[in-house]
Structure 1
Amino acid sequence: MREATASLVSNSSGKTGGVPHPDGRNRFHIETDDVDRLVDTLRGAGAAFRVGITSGTAGRQILLEDPSGNLIELFKPAGRSR
């Protein structure tokens, strides 16, 4: 089985220099080639998600919650295979 390629980006839509807190404004953004496989793997390990995978013109995404309630966005850009 092939490992999915992923890269990590910090994403903040709030004020710069603010203190991060679990309200959805600050989050890590992980790009992946196979969001479905990554979600299945994480769900199998007991991960919690806010909602299901959503699709838009930029790609597909889902919001994963870490144990403290912080968000991690899993994102597959449009135009990538799978």
Structure 2
Amino acid sequence: MKASAIHHVSVCVEKLDDAVDFYTRRLGLRLRDDRPDTLGRGAWLDAGPQQLHLIEAAPPPGRGQHFALAVADLDAATTELRAAGVQVSEAIRIGSARQAFVTDPSGNAIELHEPSHDA
């Protein structure tokens, strides 16, 4: 087997409506309308060609698990989020890329990842 890409990531959130609001209004993901109702309370969102699935359930304790959202301009993203009252860590360099972290309303860690602009 050889996987070609990550299709989606699922995270547990305490309050679905708060999570959907955060991920769509603050992080710019788009709510999908094709999630079957038979799956219980949750939501599917688009993040470019990948998806984030939200499941209304108790999140596990944080032990370093997170997912990363690619952003073209980390400084602009952090400025916008901070202006909206979202706490964002200071940006750090990882190799030739940069990253900062935010948490969703349920405490799930999200990396904001600015890829290297080196050619």
Output the TM-score relative to the length of structure 1.
0.64
Residue 76 (structure 1) aligns with: 114
Give the structure with the higher percent helix: 2
Do residues 37 (structure 1) and 73 (structure 2) align? Answer: no
Normalising by structure 2, we get a TM-score of 0.46
Q: Which has the bigger relative contact order, CA under 8 A and spacing at least 6?
A: 1
Between the aligned residues of both structures, percent identity stands at 32
Q: Name 1:23's counterpart in structure 2.
A: 62
Give the drift of 1:58: 4.0
Relative to structure 1, the CA distance from residue 58 to residue 21 in structure 2 (aligned partners, 3 Å threshold; closer, same or farther) is farther
CA RMSD of aligned residues (A): 2.5
Would the aligned equivalents of 1:24 and 1:70 in 2 still touch at CA under 8 Å? no
1:61 match: 99
Counterpart code for 1:35: L
Unaligned segments of structure 1, at least 5 residues? 1-5, 11-19
Residue identity matched to 2:74: V
Structure showing greater Rg:
2
Unaligned runs of 5+ in 2: 1-46, 53-58
**70-79 vs 21-30, greater mean Cα deviation:** 21-30
